[in-house]
Amino acid sequence: MFTKGNLFENYRKGAATIARSTIGKIRGTYDQLSRTEKKVAQLALDNPAVVSEMTIKELASATGVSTATISRFVKRMDYSNYREFTMALAHTAAEMTPQQNSFPELAEGDSLATIANKTFRFSINSLRATNEALNEDDLARAVIKIINAKTVAFFGLGGSAVAALDGYHKFLRTPLNVTYHPDYDIQLMQAARMTAQDCAIVISHSGRNHETLEIVRELKRNGVAIIVITSYSGSELAQAAAVTFLSLTDEVKYRSEGMYSLISQMTILDSLFMMTVLRSSSRTKPVLTRVRDVIEQTRYDS
């Protein structure tokens, strides 16, 4: 009977014997082949990808030889059957196709699928870059401030409103006292009401938006602990923060893609959320079961 274990064993054994590429094998034995077998070999060399998808009958009629000859041919090539041969051929054919460029840029002839692929690739690259830029000290300081805050308020305008709303939404699932409102004036009033016991999470792509800076000045005046999520470490906003997290994109030259930094910002918030939950409740419940519970409870219900 089949079990996972011996499946893998079989696979390993199989893989180990594939030392030479199929095409190499054919080339190597080519001139030892008979006249009819050469016809088969030639077609396989010319279009490995096509041949790999043919049945033995199709290949027979395509080359004008009998199926028997082909069956013998693949055995001579050291495959145990025709199926194994076509699989190996497909493998080599796939390897020969050129690998994609790791950095995508949208270009003229792009098909819809390509546009989508590049968009996803860009997002993934941004996440990777952002992740690499995180450091544990910052995370620790941020979590402490969040856990100990009387109130945690989210601030974000324009495009960053989405991230702020998301953060608010996530942290609603914790026992913390959280607040967010999309309107600028109300955000400003909220900032004015906060104290040194509170924590503010401010999200701004450029870090230069006037309204956001106004809010930060108000927060600072009140001694509120400020956690900033932005894409520019040099901005006035970043300077004012107790802790700054950077959302980055892979390539520096792309200077105007708040679009991609948004998901990085959200994933930073996600990380803060997970850390907060795991740390703040670690007295009450064993962690392992708790993680599941947390995820279950925090399910988005729509």
Residues forming contacts to DNA in the complex (CB under 7 A) are 34-37, 55-57, 64-72, 74-75, 81-83, 86
CA pair distance 151, 71, nearest whole angstrom: 76
Binding to a copy of itself (CB under 8 A): which residues in 69-88? Answer: 83-84, 86-87
Binding to a copy of itself (CB under 8 A): which residues in 15-34? Answer: 19
Picking from 75, 66, 78, the residue whose alpha carbon sits closest to that of residue 39 is 66
Shortest distance in whole angstroms from residue 85 CB to DNA: 8
CA pair distance 177, 166, nearest whole angstrom: 15
Verify binding: residue 153, a copy of itself, rule CB under 8 A: no
Picking from 56, 59, 58, 19, the residue whose alpha carbon sits closest to that of residue 42 is 59
Identify which of residues 150 and 255 has a Cβ nearer to DNA in the complex: 255
Shortest distance in whole angstroms from residue 41 CB to DNA: 11
Q: Are 151 and 199 in contact (CB under 8 A)?
A: yes
Is residue 199 helix, strand or coil? strand
Identify which of residues 33 and 158 has a Cβ nearer to a copy of itself in the complex: 158
Which listed option, DNA, a copy of itself, none, makes contact with residue 67 (CB within 5 to 8 Å by class)? Answer: DNA
Verify binding: residue 187, a copy of itself, rule CB under 8 A: no
Shortest distance in whole angstroms from residue 242 CB to DNA: 21
Site string for a copy of itself, 246-275 (x = CB under 8 A): --------x-xxxx-xxx--xx--xx--xx
Element (H, E) at 168: helix 160-171
Identify which of residues 81 and 282 has a Cβ nearer to DNA in the complex: 81
The token duo for 227 is 């956690």
The token duo for 93 is 């054919």
Shortest distance in whole angstroms from residue 229 CB to DNA: 25
Residue type, 270: D
The token duo for 254 is 């792309």
Is residue 153 helix, strand or coil? strand
Which listed option, DNA, a copy of itself, none, makes contact with residue 36 (CB within 5 to 8 Å by class)? Answer: DNA
